[in-house]
Structure formats: structure tokens, C-alpha cells
Chains A and B, each alone.
Chain A
Amino acid sequence: MLTIATGNKAVAAAVREIKPDVVAAYPITPQTEIVEQIAEYVTSGELDSRYIPVESEHSAMAACIGASVTGARSFTATSSHGLFYMHEMVNWAAGGRLPIVMANVNRALGPGWNVWAEHTDSLQERDTGWLQVYVSTVQEAYDATLMAFRIAEHHDVLLPVMINLDGFTLSHIMQSLETVDPGDFVPPINLPHAIDTASPRGYGTLTGPNDYFRFRWDMERSMRDSVAVIRETEDEFARRFGRRYGFTENYRCEDADVVVVSMGTLGKEAEVAVDQLRREGMKAGAMRLRWLRPFPDLDLSDRDVVVIDRDYSFGFGGVLAQSLKAKCGVDPFSVIAGLGGQEVTYDDIASFVRDRRIGEEHWFGVSD
């Protein structure tokens, strides 16, 4: 069905399609519409889920964990401070090998209170063992949510998946949306280690160093195996529903002399900047990174790279820039922009490219 919806409503609609058994969530700006819409679906009977209006985000993830380990499909959504309040349990979900799906609406951290888009929140969770995807359109938010469940629940993965959408800039913007009937695209959940009173086991019991080490290695192996599962899932999605994504979305990169790398809605704005630069005679391209975990193999050789980080790791650098340096051997022009919802236009992005200084870091809008 073709309609128009906000990013938040698109996520809620996808959740309605996937029919989780349990939704446990706590409201936080700018995620609130997700939980409100789900509450409406449940109240109207459109969605037959057990909805738990928990008293905090720590409890939201704890409740999802409790539900998930019984073999139930569970979902939650949060943002920024809420994500950080559940940080302990976010780690627990991954370590517990539970295929929980969570939508995170990217928002800056206080103090001072700031509700606008920034990626630092989810990026600070990048070490947890969760898979992470960053979306840039309402349609993509919907599609990624559908795919997230299939990927998480795949027996080669069994790790939780976080879908990230920019606060307000995507969560609250209205764009066209095609909703689908997923059919059996996401098969019924079948958790191998679900609680079974006929075959009782201890979960997460006291574990010695060597065994613990092996569990962590198991997680990493699954994270590596998830690459093939993501690929296969996205292939199947394209086959059934006609839309294809990928680990990155590349725009005019094939013959580009300079590529702008970013995540989220900036990735789309960057395409407009690229068109402008191309009209000026520059061979520019835009690469929007979608999957941050597992971090993909990127080919950025033989071209200048401009990275826009909507985040920062104090005393170190932009997370994306540092990741590209470490994993891809590039020496980018690292731009820090968009923190706290700072406005970044296609004109700004074009000027980052025009005025690039390879190997340097530039904080947009403040003097060095």
C-alpha cells in the first residue's frame, strides 16, 4: 500500500507487519511516535503483541531479554539517554545471543539537553556485539526493520540488531512509504536456546575465564557470518519487494576522484552536493555507509576521501573517520558536523569537498 508517513511511523508499521510477541518500551523524544503508534495498534487489535509500558529503558531492555529467551520475538525503541540508560542490558542482550530488534532514533547527549540528530549515541554502543544499520529515508526505515528481524533470528547470527534513524530529520519527516505484506519473508522465530522446562539449563551462570573467552569468540564469529546473512537477506528482499540496499549506498562513485562518506540523512543531502559539484566539473561521489556493524570492506583507494562524522570521540577523533583509517587504510579529510542537530546543507557539504585538506580534521562552523 502506497502512503506517506514519518520515519517513526514507518518503523511502527514494519513492527506491525512482523508481529513481535512482546514490545517493551519507554518513551523518549524523538522516539515517542514509535511507541505511541504501536500502543494504538495493540489497543485497536491490529497488532496482537503483549505491550509492556515499562518504567525505564533499563527495564525495557531487561523485559525484552526476558521475553526473548523464552523464544518470543521482542522489539523496543529508544534514543540517546534512553539507549545509554539501558547500556548494561544492551550488552547483556548481545552476550545472551538474543535476536532482539531495536530502533534507535539518533539524538545528542546532554548536558545541555538537546533533542536533535547526532550519531554519538549509537556509535558509543558499537562495541556491544549488536549489528547496526543506519537508514536515510522513511522507506528504508520500514524495509530495514523488516529485514532486521530476519537477520537477527538467523541461526548463523543470533545477535540483536539496531536500526538507527536521525532524530527529527528522519523520525519526524514525512515521505512516501510503500508498505508490504512480508508473507514468509521473516519465518517464525526458532531460538535454539529458548527456555525449556523439559530440558532445564542455567543461563549466564558464573563462567570461568577460558569458557568466557570462547563465548566472546563465538559472538565475533557470528558477527563475521552475519555479513553473508545480510547479503542474502537483502538479495531476497530485493527479489520479493523490488528494493535493493547494500552495505553502502554509492552515488556516482565509479569514476569519482573524491568521495564523501557519511551516514543517515546526510548521505542523501550529500548526493545533492555531488550533483552540484559534478555540474562544476568535479568528479565527486557520495558513499552512504549503512551497516556499521559488521563494518564492511570498503574500496576507497586512489581517490580523496571526505568523511562527515555526525559524532565525536573526545581526545581521539570522529568515529567514522577513525574507522576508515583503521580498516581501509585511507587518510581522509575528517569533517565533524551536525552535532546536536547542527544544520548541514548540501552547500556546506559541497564546500567541505571543494576546500578539503587531506589528513586534517575540521570542526564545521567553529574556527580551528
Chain B
Amino acid sequence: MYEIRIHSRGGQGGVTAARLLALAAFRDGKHATACPFYGAERRGAPVVSFVRIDDHPIRVYSQIRSPDLVVVLDSSVMETVDVLQGLKEDGTVLINATHGTDVGGYRTYSIDLTGIALRENLVVAGSPILNTPVLGALAKMGIVSVESVTSAISEMFSDERNVKAARAAFQELVI
């Protein structure tokens, strides 16, 4: 089982990112579950979502305690949230950042999701949408296939810019 924890702020699409990821994994033929952990669901408040991907049916509902991968969509949450808590020793971090950052000594992939969203004009009510571009980055990391990512995004969103942003992230992420 591969466990992923996604950190974001309310309104950035972190919960939807988890759902998209689960859907993409499902389209890859895997078993997948996605769940947000709801604190106070306010625009701007830190939000955590969980995704589990496995070849076998998933019967675990409790929170992910030792993720294999931590995704940080908004690095400012790191001021109040310990995003690395429980991350496996050989775990990975994917962070939305403009420059390479080494997070806590873990293998870290950085990608400017905000920049990609702004370039693709993927902005809703003043906020850049990060949940579709991050799927492209996850595909580049091999978590899900890029075909399933595009199919999942198209299933959930009609706006073409979402797929474009995902593809851009796929191109941009350096492994």
C-alpha cells in the first residue's frame, strides 16, 4: 500500500487533488481511497487529505500515520503544521515551490505549481488552482500514469486549462 498525505489551505483544491489522485489510480486499475481530514473548513485554513493506493482492497479507514509521500501545496502551512510528521525514513516530499528546497533531509521534489496555474490562467476567485497541475507532477513521479491523470481530470473538470496545467507540470518536474 502506498500512502500519500496532502497539505494545503482551504480553497486551494487540496481535497480535490486527493480525489483526482484516487480516481487516476483507480483508472490505472488499482484500489484507491481518498479522504480529507476536516478541521474547521474555512477558506485559508490548513487542510489535510489522505490517499491510499494498493493492489488489494483497502480496509483501513484510520488516518495515515506513516506516509510514503507528503505533498505540500502551500508551503506557508509549514509554519503551523508539521507536514513531515510520520513520513517514512525513505519517504519523499513533493512541494509547491519556485526553487529547489530540501525539506527536512528527505528526498524532495520542487515544482512551481502556482506559477504553472497562473501561466495557464487557472485562477478561481483570486486563487490559483493547484489540484490539477499537481496531478501532472505525481504522474512524472510515477505514482499514477499520465493517461489516467488526463482522463481523471477530464472526468471532473470540463475546462481544458486543467489538463494543460497538468501536462505542463508533468513536463516541468525534474526527477
Give me the interface of A with B, judged by CB distance under 8 Å. 3-4, 30, 115-116, 166, 168-170, 172-176, 265-266, 268-269, 271-272, 343-346
Q: A173-B34, A174-B32 are in contact. Are A346 and B19 (CB under 8 A)?
A: no
Q: Does B59 contact A (CB under 8 A)?
A: yes
Number of interchain pairs (Cβ within 8 Å): 57
Interface of B is mostly: mixed
Q: Are A343 and B63 in contact (CB under 8 A)?
A: yes
**Residues in A whose Cβ lies below 8 Å from that of B23:** 4, 174
Please report the C-alpha to C-alpha distance between residue A344 and residue B19 in the assembled complex, in whole angstroms. Answer: 23
Instruction: Give, as a whole number of angstroms, the nearest-CB distance from B15 to chain A.
Output: 9
Q: Does B35 contact A (CB under 8 A)?
A: yes
Q: Does B138 contact A (CB under 8 A)?
A: no
Give me the interface of B with A, judged by CB distance under 8 Å. 18-19, 22-23, 26, 31-36, 38, 58-63, 65
Q: Name 27 A/B residue pairs within 8 A (Cβ), A-sorted.
A: A3-B26, A4-B23, A4-B26, A30-B38, A116-B38, A166-B61, A169-B61, A172-B36, A172-B38, A173-B33, A173-B34, A173-B35, A174-B18, A174-B22, A174-B23, A174-B32, A174-B33, A174-B35, A175-B32, A175-B33, A176-B31, A268-B59, A269-B60, A272-B59, A343-B62, A345-B60, A346-B60
Please report the C-alpha to C-alpha distance between residue A272 and residue B23 in the assembled complex, in whole angstroms. Answer: 24
Instruction: Give, as a whole number of angstroms, the nearest-CB distance from B19 to chain A.
Output: 5
| Max count, chain B CB within 10 A of own CB: residue among A3, A4, A168, A269 | A4
Q: Which residue of B lies closest to A344 (CB)?
A: B62
Please report the C-alpha to C-alpha distance between residue A173 and residue B15 in the assembled complex, in whole angstroms. Answer: 11
Instruction: Give, as a whole number of angstroms, the nearest-CB distance from B4 to chain A.
Output: 13
| Max count, chain A CB within 10 A of own CB: residue among B31, B33, B59 | B59
Q: Are A265 and B32 in contact (CB under 8 A)?
A: no
